[in-house]
Structures are given as C-alpha cells and as structure tokens.
C-alpha cells in the first residue's frame, strides 16, 4: 500500500514538472510600490495645521470662535484668521467667497459646505425629500477638508473629524470653496 502511494506521488510530481515546463517562464515579480511623494505645505497651510491642533476636541458653543467653545463657521473663521486669511463669520457668507472646488479636486484646507439636512433630527434618506426647497438649498454647516475623504468640523458634539463618504454628509453636501492661493 505504501508503495502505491509513493507511486502516485511520483506520477503527480512528474506531471507537475512536465506542465510547469509547458507554462513558460514564471511571470516577473511585481514592481515595488513607491510611496507617494511628500506634500510640501505652503506657509498658510502650515498655519492651518498648527491652528487645528488648538481646536481638536474643543467644545461646541453657538457663536463661539475660540478653543474654549466654537461653532462650525467660527472654527473656519478662526483657523483661516490664524493663516492670515480674513473670512466673514457666517456659513452663508463664507460659501459666497472663495473659488468653487469640485469634489474630486478637494485638498487640504478647502472648506466643505452642507445644507440644513445634516441638522434634521432622526435623519434618514427619506427625510431629504420633505425639506422645503429653501432649506435644501441653504448652506448651514461647514468644515475644513483634511484629505483622504476626512474633514474636521464643530457640531454639538464638539470639534471632531468625520468622513465625507458617510451617508449624511453625501446627502447634505452642497459644495466646497478654496480660499488659499497655492503654488501647486
């Protein structure tokens, strides 16, 4: 019996070697992945990064614009002020300034805007259809785009990071603006 098993193994090994010879040369090894180039930040972008560190986790305060308490437009205004860019106070006024940016062109420092739908309690996709058109078109929330689909914003939970691909942000997204002039 053992001789029979050895015989089968020998035949299987010979068949594998024969077939391997018919397959040609082995494929070349895959090219090594190179890391993406490091992004060189402009001075204003560096100032935004430094300012962000002061605001992460700050509590929410309607009308606030300091790390002791901040709302969404106050956060954007304060961050940009520290980068040397003066922006108006309200979300609507901020939306009306800057250069529009397509979603696929977002980069660090752009500001993303959302409509009133993101503030509807008990939200679900079906609620978007019951908003009056004026509220669906009105921008009322914003945040600073960080890259990789993430943005930082102030909400009643405080200042934290969310993902743009979350359903609520996809449904309520109204556009983005760029306020920094970049050399790249």
Catalytically active residues are: 72, 141, 153
59, 158 contact by CB (below 8 A): yes
E strands in 67-107: 69-70, 99-100
Q: First vs last Cα of the chain: how many Å apart?
A: 74
Q: Which of 137, 120, 139 is nearest to 177 (CA)?
A: 139
CA gyration radius, the chain: 27
Q: How would you class 156 by CB atoms within 10 Å of its CB: exposed for 0-12, middle for 13-18, buried for 19 or more?
A: exposed
154, 60 contact by CB (below 8 A): yes
């Amino acid at each position: 019996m053992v001789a029979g098993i050895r015989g089968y193994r020998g035949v299987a090994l010979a068949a594998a070697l024969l077939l391997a010879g018919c397959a040609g040369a082995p494929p070349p090894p895959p090219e090594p992945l190179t890391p993406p180039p490091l992004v060189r930040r402009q001075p204003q972008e560096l100032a935004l990064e430094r300012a962000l560190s002061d605001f992460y986790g700050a509590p929410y305060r309607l009308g606030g614009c300091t790390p002791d308490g901040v709302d969404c437009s106050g956060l954007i205004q304060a961050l940009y002020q520290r980068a040397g860019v003066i922006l108006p106070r309200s979300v609507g006024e901020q939306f009306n300034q800057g250069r529009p940016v397509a979603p696929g062109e977002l980069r660090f420092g752009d500001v993303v805007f959302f409509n009133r739908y993101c503030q509807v309690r008990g939200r679900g996709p079906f609620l978007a259809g019951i908003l009056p058109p004026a509220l669906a078109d009105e921008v009322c929330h914003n945040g600073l785009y960080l890259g990789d689909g993430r943005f930082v914003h102030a909400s009643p939970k405080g200042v934290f990071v969310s993902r743009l691909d979350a359903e609520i942000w996809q449904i309520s997204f109204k556009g983005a603006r760029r306020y920094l002039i970049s050399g790249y």
